[in-house]
A and B are shown apart, each in its own frame.
Chain A
Amino acid sequence: MKSESDSLPKDTSVRAMFHLSILAITLASTAGLALAQAPDDLASKSLEDLMNIEVASVYSASKYSQKVTEAPSSVSIVTSEQIQRYGYRTLADILKSVRGFYVTNDRNYSYVGVRGFSRPGDYNTRVLLLVDGHRMNDNVYDNAPIGREFPVDVDLIERVEIVRGSSSSLYGTSAFMAVINVITKRGRDVGGVEVSAEGASAGTYNGRFSYGNKLGNDFEMLLSGSYYDSRGKREIYYQEFDTPATNNGIALDLDGEESKTFLANLSFRDFTLHGTYGSRQKAYPTASYGTVFNDPRARTSDRRGYLDLQYTHTFSNQLGLLARASYDSYRYDGAYVYDYSDNSTPLLAVGVDSSRGSWLSGELQLTKTVSRHRLTFGTEYRDNLKQNQGNYDLETLVVSLDDRRKSKNFGLFLQDEFVIRENLTLSAGVRYDHHTTYGGTTNPRVALIYHPAEKTTVKVLYGAAFRAPNNFELFYESGDAFNANPTLRPETIKTGELVFEKYLGDHVRVSASGFVYRIKGLISQQINPESDLITFGNVAGARSKGLEFEFDSRFGPGFEGNVSYTLQKTQDEATKETLTNSPRHLGKLNVIAPLFKRRVFAGFELQYTSQRRTLVGLDTPAFVLSNLTLFGPKLAKGLDASFGVYNLFNQKYGDPGGEEHRQNAIEQDGRTVRVKLTYHF
């Protein structure tokens, strides 16, 4: 049976995309002509100020700032200005806009796909998510939170760096397909008190209160808190549950979400203290894991937070030092309602999955330039104080799983950036990791960066990485859905990429890249034939190859445009079949244009995702998503206003479900709107 969304006429979306492309190109070319003479505020700065401005650079590719064209990776950056002007609401929104990335949502969590790779049951374990360099992937699921469970309000993001390819040579486990580093704002970026309120479709409200400033020469602080509440869609229909006994397939009021986040950034001279806390509850309507459909108790809760103290100093002999110590805590609770009724007695029981993780981390890093070598040495230590998973019955409190674990791991890495000639750089690094659960692993990365001409860059990149099995994959067991598999080994990947970048004239950058990724011992969900339950295994391997093209342009003050296209093929190594949830084509178009004498900015984006194979072997149809945001900075004194329409043409589309879903595809939101006001005191 094909899902309902399969029957959509495809040509409407294609036509819509065509019209919008024309619109975008017209906007862009007008922009090129308009090239207004903006007052150059840089020229009015003093020499001392100019000497403190960083030129466009990326930190996460090498663990120090360098020009994007010098980074040993393919890098994308999303700035706070783009977040405002495109009206991004979550980190998932931000990632969706980036070349080659796609996001799958199952109406509970969001899962990021990179280079055609997004496995069902993968809780974002194959990307490493950092906040200000602090590892966010937890120690039970290895989950990188990108939805509302991400503990940083996107308003507080200064920029997001996305580094593609393997980076285990710097970061260890999880830096498998990509590293995403979210850099938060500092006190001076807020510069006073800021209050923000928004209302959106489906009974959604969001508020934020922030205070930030630089106080004197040495002290800077930012404190912020946000509250989000959404009723969600009232009724969600799933044809897989369309029987009179299961409310004719309608999940009623099971899409609600609530989240609270706090952030503190304090710095005193060379010391910085970062703290975040986020708590999020979500109801889920999909009756996943064979639970009872349309039961109001179906919900999950995630709470995470950390404190991170950091010291950075550059000594007079140009030795750079970074030292940090941090404490993290993660708590997950999920309620799953099961039907144990027999013919005579009805019995519904609520099983609660409950995970508790906490860990201490320490990190030390030294950087020094010796003649033409920039050397970086680092070490990292993690003590997983708690990695507990449990399951109990909510009423009887009978415990069916009580798995308590601890572990430790450490890593040592060395990287050398060697300037062979003025236009040729070799970056080579290697990292050794040792983990008490699975032993040691060594992962290298080598990059050759060549500038054959002014404004032209060629990068040849190679990297190896690993992803350790997480405790959920290793030890989680439940009589209703899962078998444990403590024999899992780390999976490994080798990534190769050739990148070509060129600046054409003043405002245009084009880039093309080809990549080959090869994964071995892939940890994947499968059905245990004996128990008929989900279990994880190091099954098979996968290979992904593809081409990416990107065209980037800043036409004039306030205008910018970006178009990218990804063609990729991701196959099971043994069967040569295309993996599930792997689109062959991804296209993106992003345009910002100032309107009404730069009083308002229009941010428009189009995202094309081709069809994706689902677990039962059907395809979800291709779709085009379009979002439009109008952003008015300083509409009145201190007031910013934003109005956004998401899924502008009400495109109907679905994302492939996982093993835990009965749904072949999970339908996503139609058109929604959001109004947001931010007042700056």
Chain B
Amino acid sequence: MGNVLSPQVQAQADEYQVKAAFIFNFAKFVEWPGDAFGDGGSLVVGVVGEDPFGGALDRLNGSVANGRRLRIKRLRFGDNLRDCHILFISKSEGKNLGKILDSIKGTSVLTIGEMPQFNQSGGMIRFVIHNSKVRFEINAAAAAQTRLRISSKLLALSKGAS
């Protein structure tokens, strides 16, 4: 097992490629209520604010998770965000975080972010880097206010759960 102190390190990857792969996995381990999907039935992944993923999210466009086709959507503050299933809120939206979260209250949008105050402010999944590896923290209380069902596996792997 690699250790952060060990000079001999693990294979490396781009941070946001790894985070994009996490988002793909979240789509598999979260259950949305049936009425959350429109006619096409696709699962909309929105990015609000500056996109840090490079092309990594776009490469997920069209791929299938739990029988639903992923569709990537770029959004700005002020756009209607309620049609997303997953919403990644970029660090660039720090000032607007409260308003963005307010605007999707009562929906089943899984919110993901990286800002330090993200989960305290009511976000659901926050990425953190620990020992150069990507980890995530789940705000179970925020998720419980929606009709989303987060699998126990995801909860078990989240930081602080073990």
Contacts and interface: CB of A to CB of B under 8 A. Distances in A.
Contacts of B92: 454
Contacts of B134: 50-51, 53, 55
Contacts of B5: 63-64, 312, 314, 320-322, 365, 367
Contacts of B8: 132-133, 158, 183-184, 186, 265, 272
Contacts of A418: none
Interface stretch (A36-44, A194-202, A439-447): A36-44
A50 B24 CA distance: 11
Nearest to B15: A55
B18 A50 contact: yes
Given A40-B60, A65-B131, A183 B9 contact: yes
Contacts of B15: 55-56, 67
Contacts of B50: 454
B135 interface: yes
Given A64-B5, A320-B5, A454-B52, A55 B133 contact: yes
Contact of A132 (B7, B60, B116): B7
Interface string B117-141: 0000000000001011111000000
B55 interface: yes
B3 A270 contact: yes
Contacts of A159: 12
B34 interface: no
A506 B55 CA distance: 7
Contacts of A314: 3-5, 131
Contacts of B9: 54, 57, 59, 65, 158, 183
B115 to A, nearest CB: 8
B145 interface: no
Nearest to A322: B5
A220 to B, nearest CB: 10
Interface string A450-491: 000011000000000000000000000000000000000000
Determine the interface band of chain B, counting residues with CB < 8 A from chain A.
35 or more
A454 B3 contact: no
Contacts of A59: 7, 9
B54 to A, nearest CB: 4
Interface string A64-107: 11110000000000000000000000000000000000000000
A48 B25 CA distance: 11
Q: Most B CB atoms within 10 A — which of A37, A65, A159, A270? A: A65
Contacts of B10: 52-54
A57 B8 CA distance: 12
Contacts of A183: 7-9
A470 to B, nearest CB: 24
Contacts of B66: none
B58 to A, nearest CB: 9
B20 interface: yes
B116 A65 contact: no
A40 B129 CA distance: 22
A320 B3 contact: yes
B11 A53 contact: yes
Nearest to B94: A422
B74 interface: no
A272 to B, nearest CB: 7
A55 B131 contact: no
B3 A55 contact: no
B21 A56 contact: no
A320 B13 CA distance: 23
Contacts of A37: 59
Contacts of B4: 64-65, 314, 320, 367
Interface string B9-42: 1111111011011101100010000000000000
B45 to A, nearest CB: 12
A540 interface: no
A597 interface: no
A610 interface: no
B6 A312 contact: yes
Contacts of A133: 7-8
B75 interface: no
Contact of B12 (A40, A55, A272): A55
Interface string A136-158: 00000000000000000000001
Interface string B60-97: 10010000000000000000000000000011100000
Interface in A313-336: 313-314, 320-322
A45 B25 CA distance: 9
Contacts of B142: none
Nearest to B63: A43
A507 interface: yes
Contacts of A186: 8
Interface in A5-58: 35, 37-38, 40, 42-43, 45-48, 50-57
A568 interface: no
A181 interface: yes
Contacts of A42: 13, 17-18, 20-21
A423 to B, nearest CB: 10
Contacts of A454: 50, 52, 90-92
B154 A47 contact: yes
Contacts of B144: none
Nearest to A69: B15
A100 B16 CA distance: 29
A54 B21 contact: no
A60 B20 CA distance: 28
A46 B13 CA distance: 15
B12 A53 contact: yes
A193 interface: no
Q: Most B CB atoms within 10 A — which of A45, A53, A272? A: A53
Contacts of B29: 47
A51 B157 CA distance: 9
B106 interface: no
A331 B153 CA distance: 57
A377 to B, nearest CB: 12
Contacts of B157: 47-48, 51
A422 B126 CA distance: 15
Nearest to A422: B116
Interface string A319-359: 01110000000000000000000000000000000000000
A310 interface: yes
Nearest to A505: B54
Given A55-B18, A310-B6, A314-B3, 12 more contacts: A40-B17, A47-B22, A47-B29, A48-B157, A54-B10, A67-B15, A67-B132, A183-B7, A272-B6, A312-B5, A367-B4, A367-B5
10 contacts: A43-B21, A47-B25, A52-B10, A52-B133, A54-B9, A55-B132, A55-B134, A57-B9, A64-B5, A454-B50
Instruction: Give the 6 A-B residue pairs with the shortest CB-CB distance, closest first.
Output: A133-B7, A506-B54, A55-B15, A42-B21, A65-B132, A312-B3
